[in-house]
Structure 1
Amino acid sequence: MLERLFPRRAPARKPLPQPNAQLALGALLVRVALANKQYLAAEVAQIDKTLAATFGLGPIEAAKLRAECEALERDAPGTPEFTRILREEIAYEDRKTLGHAMWAVAMADGHRDEDEEVQLLAIETALGLSNEDIAAARKNALGQL
């Protein structure tokens, strides 16, 4: 009865942070992992490892950044905004490395998934990677299965 008189209100959401290169990369890594509608522990661990290595973070800081990226990925605009930020802030050679890192997330569970591969191709293309570099990242990732 009290519930009807005093209904609970959903807590107000915190405003989303303005995306920067760290958040954009993390959100794209999460997006790749979620492409097949599964978010496995191996993928989460690979995202944390990638964020830690890319930005010189410790494990706790990388996990906190990933958590923020998960919220951003869930509520933020689409892939083009994230890839635009990365194209503007990160040199081509480093974007190639990010392509390899995204493949590592997609392959973290040890299985190929068409939805993840489609998502990866869209992201790599939007990052401005050449067809040759996209093919090399894919070949490298699939060769490690």
Structure 2
Amino acid sequence: MFDRLLSLLRAPAPGATEIPQADARHALGALLVRVAKADGVYLFQEIEEIDHLLASLYDLNVVEAARMRAECEKLEAAMPKTEDLAHILSDTVTRTERDALVQALWQVADADGRRDDTEAQVVMIATRTFGMTLDEATALRR
């Protein structure tokens, strides 16, 4: 009986968000979350922008986008290197898609109305992994 009680305590809470498979969709979401959290403040405007981008990119409704973001938050926390997240994407997307992804990263970085160097650094790490130059990445911010 004691073992059963311990197993119940160790079990994840019902409805808890599991860490998703590190596919391209979730890697992008995790990168968006990483950019938003880079300055140490995860603001509502950034969360809203992430949800909007996920819904738009993957044809999700509001609830599905929020659920996906929650999964991406778990993946972001589990993968310490930004390069690892970006590498998952760089192997699966075309050049045109990468440009759109970098624009999405900039949209999240700029969602709170402030330009922060730590957020820009995360975007730059991702773009280097994508094989883009600093000039190409900066041009996509405009």
Q: TM-score range by the shorter chain?
A: 0.7 to 0.9
- The total of aligned residue pairs comes to 134
- Taking the aligned partners of 2:96 and 2:17, their CA distance within structure 1 comes to 35
Which structure 2 residues correspond to residues 87-102 of structure 1 after superposition, within 5 A? 87-102=90-105
- Taking the aligned partners of 1:46 and 1:107, their CA distance within structure 2 comes to 10
> What is the alpha-carbon root mean square deviation over aligned residues?
2.1
Which structure 2 residues correspond to residues 29-108 of structure 1 after superposition, within 5 A? 29-108=32-111
**Structure 1 residues without counterparts, runs of 5 or longer:** 1-5, 141-145
* Distance apart, 1:132 and its partner CA: 3.1
Among 121, 125, 128, the residue aligned to 1:122: 125
Equivalent AA in structure 1 for residue 79 of structure 2: A
Equivalent AA in structure 1 for residue 30 of structure 2: A
Task: Verify the 8 A CA contact 2:33 2:76 in the aligned structure 1.
Answer: yes
- Taking the aligned partners of 1:123 and 1:84, their CA distance within structure 2 comes to 8
Give TM-score scaled by structure 1 length: 0.83
Q: Following TM superposition, where does structure 1 have runs of at least 4 consecutive aligned residues deviating by more than 6 angstroms? A: none
Give TM-score scaled by structure 2 length: 0.84
- Taking the aligned partners of 1:60 and 1:15, their CA distance within structure 2 comes to 16
- Taking the aligned partners of 2:17 and 2:69, their CA distance within structure 1 comes to 16
